[in-house]
Amino acid sequence: MNTKMNDFNQLAALCHGKHIYIQTHNFPDPDAIASAFGLQRLLAQHEIPSTLCYDGRIDKLSASKMLEAFQIQMFPYEQLRPDMAEEDYVICVDAQKHCGNITDFVGDEVACIDHHPTFVPIEYRYQDIRPTGACATIIAQYYKQLPCLPDRHTATALLYGLKMDTLQFTRGVTELDIEMFAFLFPLCDQETLARLERNNMEFNDLKAYGAAIESIEVYDKVGISNVLFPCPDALIAILSDFILALQEVEVAVVFSKREDGIKFSVRSEDPAVHAGHLVRDALHGYGDGGGHAEMAGGMIRKEKECLLGRYPKDTIRDSFLRVLS
Protein backbone atom coordinates (compact mmCIF):
# COMPACT_ATOMS: atom_id res chain seq x y z
CA MET A 1 0.00 0.00 0.00
CA ASN A 2 1.56 3.29 -1.10
CA THR A 3 -0.72 6.28 -0.55
CA LYS A 4 0.24 9.87 -1.24
CA MET A 5 -3.03 11.77 -1.15
CA ASN A 6 -4.16 14.15 1.54
CA ASP A 7 -6.90 11.75 2.63
CA PHE A 8 -6.97 11.03 6.36
CA ASN A 9 -9.05 7.88 5.80
CA GLN A 10 -6.11 6.36 3.93
CA LEU A 11 -3.81 7.19 6.83
CA ALA A 12 -6.27 5.70 9.32
CA ALA A 13 -6.47 2.50 7.26
CA LEU A 14 -2.68 2.28 7.22
CA CYS A 15 -2.49 2.70 11.01
CA HIS A 16 -5.39 0.42 11.94
CA GLY A 17 -4.39 -2.19 14.50
CA LYS A 18 -1.10 -0.48 15.33
CA HIS A 19 0.14 1.70 18.16
CA ILE A 20 1.51 4.80 16.48
CA TYR A 21 4.39 7.06 17.45
CA ILE A 22 3.83 10.63 16.28
CA GLN A 23 7.26 12.26 16.02
CA THR A 24 7.91 16.00 15.70
CA HIS A 25 11.20 17.72 14.95
CA ASN A 26 13.78 17.72 17.72
CA PHE A 27 12.85 21.02 19.33
CA PRO A 28 9.06 21.08 19.04
CA ASP A 29 7.46 24.51 18.73
CA PRO A 30 3.75 25.33 19.08
CA ASP A 31 2.95 24.39 15.48
CA ALA A 32 4.64 20.99 15.81
CA ILE A 33 2.95 20.33 19.16
CA ALA A 34 -0.46 21.45 17.89
CA SER A 35 -0.18 19.32 14.76
CA ALA A 36 0.90 16.22 16.67
CA PHE A 37 -1.78 16.75 19.32
CA GLY A 38 -4.51 17.34 16.72
CA LEU A 39 -3.48 14.21 14.84
CA GLN A 40 -3.41 12.18 18.06
CA ARG A 41 -6.97 13.24 18.91
CA LEU A 42 -8.14 12.41 15.40
CA LEU A 43 -6.53 8.96 15.46
CA ALA A 44 -8.14 8.31 18.84
CA GLN A 45 -11.56 8.88 17.29
CA HIS A 46 -10.71 5.98 14.97
CA GLU A 47 -9.63 3.85 17.96
CA ILE A 48 -5.95 4.12 16.99
CA PRO A 49 -3.72 4.72 20.05
CA SER A 50 -0.67 6.93 19.65
CA THR A 51 2.23 8.44 21.58
CA LEU A 52 3.68 11.90 20.95
CA CYS A 53 7.48 11.95 20.94
CA TYR A 54 10.54 13.97 20.03
CA ASP A 55 14.30 14.01 20.48
CA GLY A 56 15.98 17.10 21.83
CA ARG A 57 14.38 19.59 24.20
CA ILE A 58 11.23 21.56 24.86
CA ASP A 59 13.14 24.83 24.96
CA LYS A 60 10.50 27.42 24.15
CA LEU A 61 8.38 29.06 26.82
CA SER A 62 5.40 29.16 24.47
CA ALA A 63 5.74 25.40 23.93
CA SER A 64 5.92 24.66 27.66
CA LYS A 65 2.88 26.83 28.35
CA MET A 66 1.00 25.02 25.61
CA LEU A 67 1.79 21.57 26.98
CA GLU A 68 0.55 22.66 30.38
CA ALA A 69 -2.57 24.44 29.12
CA PHE A 70 -3.86 21.42 27.20
CA GLN A 71 -2.30 18.70 29.39
CA ILE A 72 -0.43 17.31 26.38
CA GLN A 73 1.94 14.44 27.04
CA MET A 74 5.06 14.30 24.86
CA PHE A 75 7.84 11.85 25.59
CA PRO A 76 11.56 12.23 24.84
CA TYR A 77 13.06 9.51 22.67
CA GLU A 78 15.45 8.33 25.37
CA GLN A 79 12.46 7.43 27.54
CA LEU A 80 10.70 5.47 24.78
CA ARG A 81 13.66 3.91 23.01
CA PRO A 82 13.92 0.72 25.14
CA ASP A 83 10.36 -0.23 24.20
CA MET A 84 10.40 0.78 20.52
CA ALA A 85 10.86 -1.86 17.84
CA GLU A 86 11.74 -1.67 14.16
CA GLU A 87 8.23 -2.72 13.16
CA ASP A 88 6.56 0.09 15.14
CA TYR A 89 4.92 2.73 12.96
CA VAL A 90 6.15 6.32 13.14
CA ILE A 91 4.39 9.34 11.62
CA CYS A 92 6.65 12.35 11.10
CA VAL A 93 4.77 15.59 11.73
CA ASP A 94 6.05 19.09 10.90
CA ALA A 95 9.33 17.50 9.76
CA GLN A 96 10.70 15.06 7.22
CA LYS A 97 13.30 12.33 7.45
CA HIS A 98 16.89 13.42 6.80
CA CYS A 99 16.03 17.11 6.96
CA GLY A 100 18.63 17.84 9.65
CA ASN A 101 16.35 18.54 12.59
CA ILE A 102 14.75 15.16 13.26
CA THR A 103 16.39 12.05 14.71
CA ASP A 104 16.03 8.70 12.96
CA PHE A 105 14.07 6.64 15.48
CA VAL A 106 14.14 2.86 15.72
CA GLY A 107 10.62 2.52 14.27
CA ASP A 108 9.45 2.54 10.66
CA GLU A 109 8.55 6.03 9.37
CA VAL A 110 5.55 5.00 7.31
CA ALA A 111 3.96 8.44 7.00
CA CYS A 112 4.82 12.12 6.88
CA ILE A 113 2.64 15.22 7.29
CA ASP A 114 4.57 18.43 6.78
CA HIS A 115 4.47 21.91 5.27
CA HIS A 116 8.21 22.40 4.65
CA PRO A 117 9.93 22.02 1.26
CA THR A 118 11.46 18.61 0.55
CA PHE A 119 15.25 18.62 0.21
CA VAL A 120 15.87 14.86 0.53
CA PRO A 121 13.08 12.91 -1.23
CA ILE A 122 11.87 9.92 0.79
CA GLU A 123 9.19 7.35 -0.05
CA TYR A 124 6.50 7.03 2.62
CA ARG A 125 3.48 4.76 2.54
CA TYR A 126 1.43 7.87 3.19
CA GLN A 127 2.54 11.45 2.75
CA ASP A 128 0.86 14.81 2.85
CA ILE A 129 3.52 17.44 2.22
CA ARG A 130 2.11 20.78 1.14
CA PRO A 131 3.32 24.41 1.22
CA THR A 132 1.13 25.99 3.88
CA GLY A 133 1.95 28.59 6.50
CA ALA A 134 1.65 26.03 9.29
CA CYS A 135 1.43 22.27 9.61
CA ALA A 136 -1.56 22.78 11.92
CA THR A 137 -3.47 23.96 8.85
CA ILE A 138 -3.15 20.51 7.26
CA ILE A 139 -4.40 18.76 10.40
CA ALA A 140 -7.30 21.23 10.71
CA GLN A 141 -8.31 20.46 7.14
CA TYR A 142 -8.55 16.75 8.00
CA TYR A 143 -11.16 17.61 10.62
CA LYS A 144 -13.11 19.76 8.19
CA GLN A 145 -13.02 17.23 5.35
CA LEU A 146 -14.24 14.25 7.39
CA PRO A 147 -16.27 16.24 8.70
CA CYS A 148 -15.33 15.89 12.34
CA LEU A 149 -15.29 18.95 14.56
CA PRO A 150 -12.28 19.21 16.89
CA ASP A 151 -13.04 19.64 20.59
CA ARG A 152 -12.33 23.03 22.18
CA HIS A 153 -8.81 22.14 23.39
CA THR A 154 -7.82 20.76 20.00
CA ALA A 155 -9.25 23.69 18.06
CA THR A 156 -7.47 26.17 20.34
CA ALA A 157 -4.17 24.33 20.07
CA LEU A 158 -4.37 24.15 16.28
CA LEU A 159 -5.28 27.82 16.00
CA TYR A 160 -2.42 28.81 18.31
CA GLY A 161 0.07 26.75 16.29
CA LEU A 162 -1.23 28.32 13.09
CA LYS A 163 -0.90 31.87 14.44
CA MET A 164 2.57 31.28 15.87
CA ASP A 165 4.09 29.70 12.76
CA THR A 166 2.75 32.41 10.47
CA LEU A 167 3.84 35.16 12.88
CA GLN A 168 0.24 36.26 13.36
CA PHE A 169 -0.56 35.79 9.66
CA THR A 170 2.30 37.97 8.40
CA ARG A 171 4.59 35.22 7.04
CA GLY A 172 4.08 32.49 4.45
CA VAL A 173 0.29 32.62 4.64
CA THR A 174 -1.77 30.68 2.09
CA GLU A 175 -5.47 30.77 1.30
CA LEU A 176 -5.86 27.46 3.12
CA ASP A 177 -4.40 28.97 6.30
CA ILE A 178 -7.04 31.70 6.19
CA GLU A 179 -9.76 29.14 5.50
CA MET A 180 -8.67 27.01 8.46
CA PHE A 181 -8.53 30.06 10.72
CA ALA A 182 -12.18 30.72 9.87
CA PHE A 183 -12.98 27.06 10.58
CA LEU A 184 -11.17 26.93 13.95
CA PHE A 185 -11.94 30.35 15.38
CA PRO A 186 -15.60 29.72 16.36
CA LEU A 187 -14.55 26.44 18.01
CA CYS A 188 -11.64 27.72 20.10
CA ASP A 189 -11.38 28.99 23.66
CA GLN A 190 -10.47 32.63 23.09
CA GLU A 191 -9.52 33.23 26.71
CA THR A 192 -7.00 30.37 26.65
CA LEU A 193 -5.68 31.57 23.29
CA ALA A 194 -5.13 35.08 24.61
CA ARG A 195 -3.39 33.74 27.72
CA LEU A 196 -1.01 31.67 25.61
CA GLU A 197 -0.11 34.67 23.48
CA ARG A 198 0.88 36.82 26.45
CA ASN A 199 4.24 36.88 28.28
CA ASN A 200 6.24 34.50 26.09
CA MET A 201 9.62 36.08 26.87
CA GLU A 202 11.80 35.17 29.84
CA PHE A 203 14.13 37.60 31.60
CA ASN A 204 17.26 35.74 30.44
CA ASP A 205 16.15 36.24 26.83
CA LEU A 206 17.07 39.91 27.15
CA LYS A 207 20.78 39.01 27.27
CA ALA A 208 20.47 37.29 23.91
CA TYR A 209 18.74 40.34 22.44
CA GLY A 210 21.56 42.50 23.75
CA ALA A 211 24.23 40.22 22.26
CA ALA A 212 22.45 40.12 18.89
CA ILE A 213 22.17 43.91 18.81
CA GLU A 214 25.79 44.39 19.88
CA SER A 215 27.17 42.08 17.19
CA ILE A 216 25.00 42.94 14.19
CA GLU A 217 26.69 43.80 10.91
CA VAL A 218 24.74 44.93 7.85
CA TYR A 219 25.99 44.30 4.31
CA ASP A 220 23.72 45.65 1.57
CA LYS A 221 20.46 44.82 3.40
CA VAL A 222 21.84 41.55 4.83
CA GLY A 223 21.96 41.61 8.62
CA ILE A 224 24.31 39.08 10.25
CA SER A 225 24.38 38.71 14.02
CA ASN A 226 25.88 36.18 16.40
CA VAL A 227 25.37 35.23 20.04
CA LEU A 228 28.49 33.81 21.65
CA PHE A 229 26.61 31.87 24.31
CA PRO A 230 24.07 29.06 23.98
CA CYS A 231 20.55 29.93 22.89
CA PRO A 232 17.66 27.52 22.32
CA ASP A 233 16.38 27.08 18.77
CA ALA A 234 13.21 29.03 19.48
CA LEU A 235 15.07 32.08 20.77
CA ILE A 236 17.45 32.14 17.81
CA ALA A 237 14.42 32.13 15.52
CA ILE A 238 12.86 35.02 17.47
CA LEU A 239 16.11 36.96 17.19
CA SER A 240 16.22 36.53 13.42
CA ASP A 241 12.67 37.89 13.19
CA PHE A 242 13.79 40.78 15.38
CA ILE A 243 16.76 41.59 13.12
CA LEU A 244 14.58 41.31 10.01
CA ALA A 245 12.28 44.00 11.44
CA LEU A 246 15.03 46.59 10.87
CA GLN A 247 14.27 48.88 7.95
CA GLU A 248 17.80 48.38 6.61
CA VAL A 249 17.55 44.56 6.58
CA GLU A 250 15.83 42.27 4.09
CA VAL A 251 17.77 39.10 4.90
CA ALA A 252 18.65 38.20 8.49
CA VAL A 253 21.18 35.58 9.60
CA VAL A 254 21.55 34.84 13.32
CA PHE A 255 23.74 32.12 14.81
CA SER A 256 24.56 30.94 18.31
CA LYS A 257 27.53 29.00 19.67
CA ARG A 258 26.30 26.04 21.69
CA GLU A 259 27.65 22.84 23.22
CA ASP A 260 26.40 20.77 20.28
CA GLY A 261 27.69 23.15 17.61
CA ILE A 262 26.59 26.36 15.91
CA LYS A 263 22.86 26.84 15.33
CA PHE A 264 21.52 29.15 12.58
CA SER A 265 18.24 30.88 11.86
CA VAL A 266 17.69 32.72 8.57
CA ARG A 267 14.86 35.00 7.48
CA SER A 268 14.22 36.63 4.11
CA GLU A 269 11.67 39.12 2.83
CA ASP A 270 13.58 39.56 -0.44
CA PRO A 271 11.74 37.62 -3.19
CA ALA A 272 15.09 36.97 -4.88
CA VAL A 273 16.54 35.23 -1.80
CA HIS A 274 15.15 31.86 -0.74
CA ALA A 275 16.10 31.45 2.93
CA GLY A 276 16.16 27.65 2.76
CA HIS A 277 18.43 27.58 -0.28
CA LEU A 278 20.65 30.28 1.22
CA VAL A 279 21.39 28.45 4.46
CA ARG A 280 21.81 25.12 2.70
CA ASP A 281 24.32 26.53 0.20
CA ALA A 282 26.16 28.71 2.74
CA LEU A 283 26.69 25.77 5.11
CA HIS A 284 27.64 23.30 2.39
CA GLY A 285 30.76 21.46 3.49
CA TYR A 286 30.35 22.62 7.08
CA GLY A 287 26.86 21.55 8.09
CA ASP A 288 23.31 21.31 6.84
CA GLY A 289 20.19 23.43 6.66
CA GLY A 290 17.02 24.21 4.78
CA GLY A 291 13.49 25.53 5.07
CA HIS A 292 10.97 27.84 3.48
CA ALA A 293 11.55 30.82 1.20
CA GLU A 294 10.94 33.20 4.12
CA MET A 295 12.36 31.21 7.06
CA ALA A 296 14.96 28.50 7.50
CA GLY A 297 17.42 26.97 9.93
CA GLY A 298 20.73 25.17 9.92
CA MET A 299 23.41 23.58 12.04
CA ILE A 300 27.17 23.06 12.06
CA ARG A 301 27.87 20.14 14.37
CA LYS A 302 30.56 20.51 16.99
CA GLU A 303 32.85 17.98 15.32
CA LYS A 304 32.88 20.09 12.13
CA GLU A 305 33.52 23.47 13.70
CA CYS A 306 37.24 22.99 13.10
CA LEU A 307 36.55 23.35 9.36
CA LEU A 308 35.70 27.01 9.93
CA GLY A 309 39.31 27.82 10.70
CA ARG A 310 40.79 30.26 13.17
CA TYR A 311 38.08 32.89 12.75
CA PRO A 312 34.73 31.06 12.57
CA LYS A 313 32.61 34.21 12.58
CA ASP A 314 34.44 35.62 9.55
CA THR A 315 34.22 32.31 7.69
CA ILE A 316 30.48 32.10 8.31
CA ARG A 317 29.92 35.70 7.23
CA ASP A 318 31.99 35.27 4.07
CA SER A 319 30.18 32.05 3.18
CA PHE A 320 26.73 33.66 3.36
CA LEU A 321 27.82 36.76 1.49
CA ARG A 322 29.45 34.64 -1.22
CA VAL A 323 26.19 32.78 -1.85
CA LEU A 324 24.30 36.08 -1.95
CA SER A 325 26.71 37.77 -4.35
pLDDT in tens, 19-29: 999 999 998 99
Q: What is the pLDDT of residue 2?
A: 46
Q: Which of 151-160, 197-206, 312-321 has the lowest mean pLDDT?
A: 197-206
Q: What is the pLDDT of residue 138?
A: 98
Strand 108-114 versus strand 126-129 pairing type: parallel
Our CA angle for 139, 193, 166, nearest 5°, is 55
Q: What is the pLDDT of residue 5?
A: 56
Q: Which residues contact 93 (CB under 8 A, 6 or more apart)?
A: 22, 23, 24, 32, 35, 36, 39, 112, 113, 114, 135
Predicted structure pTM score: 0.81
**181-230 per-position pLDDT tens digit:** 999 999 999 999 999 998 777 787 899 999 999 999 999 999 999 999 99
* Predicted confidence band of residue 233 (pLDDT cuts 50, 70, 90): confident
* Cα torsion angle, 243, 180, 127, 271, sign: negative
Q: Which of 33, 36, 79 is nearest to 59 (CA)?
A: 33
Q: What is the pLDDT of residue 171?
A: 86
DSSP H or E segment with residue 317: helix 312-324
Q: Indicate the burial class of 95 (C-beta count within 10 angstroms; 0-12, 13-18, 19 or more).
A: buried
The answer on pLDDT for 98 being more than 90 is no
**34-90 per-position pLDDT tens digit:** 999 999 999 999 999 999 999 988 877 889 999 999 999 999 999 999 999 999 999
The answer on pLDDT for 16 being more than 80 is yes
Q: What is the pLDDT of residue 4?
A: 47
Say if CB 215 and CB 245 are below 8 A apart.
no
